[in-house]
Amino acid sequence: AQSVTQPDIHITVSEGASLELRCNYSYGATPYLFWYVQSPGQGLQLLLKYFSGDTLVQGIKGFEAEFKRSQSSFNLRKPSVHWSDAAEYFCAVGSPFSNDYKLSFGAGTTVTVRA
C-alpha cells in the first residue's frame, strides 16, 4: 500500500517570495501523484498531476511540481506567492495498477502569506 508524508505542517512565506512544499511517498513503483489545494471553507481543488513522462509538471495558478524518483519526492513550487495562495495543500498518491481510484493523502501543509 502507498503512503504519503508531508514533513512541513505549517509554512509562512512573504508575499512575492518563492514557495516550496515537500512531499515524500512510499510505493514500490512509480505512482500517480497529485497536489490539491483547499482554501478555507472550500473543498479540495486539483492543482496538478503526474502520471508519466516529463518529470516537471505545470499546474494551475502558477504552480509546478517535480517528480524525483531517486528521492521518492514530488515537491510543489511557486516562484512568487500571492496573498490568495494562503491555503492548505495536500499531496496524494495513487496506484496505477488497479482500477480502483484509491488515493492516499498526506496530512497537509498550511501556508500562511504575510504582507
Partner 1 sequence: ETGVTQTPRHLVMGMTNKKSLKCEQHLGHNAMYWYKQSAKKPLELMFVYNFKEQTENNSVPSRFSPECPNSSHLFLHLHTLQPEDSALYLCASSQDGTGTSPLHFGNGTRLTVT
Positions in the binding site for partner 1 (CB under 8 A): 4, 9, 32, 34, 36, 41-46, 49, 51, 90, 94-96, 98-108
Q: Is the CB of 14 or the CB of 112 nearer to partner 1?
A: 112
Q: Is the CB of 3 or the CB of 71 nearer to partner 1?
A: 3
73-78 and 10-14 strand pairing: unpaired
Q: Is the CB of 19 or the CB of 47 nearer to partner 1?
A: 47
* Cell numbers at 82, concatenated: 500571492
Q: Which single residue is written with the C-alpha cell 524525483?
A: 68
Cα–Cα distance between 84 and 107 in angstroms, integer? 21
Q: How far is the CB of 101 from partner 1 (least distance, A)?
A: 5
CA end-to-end span of the chain: 41
Q: How far is the CB of 110 from partner 1 (least distance, A)?
A: 9
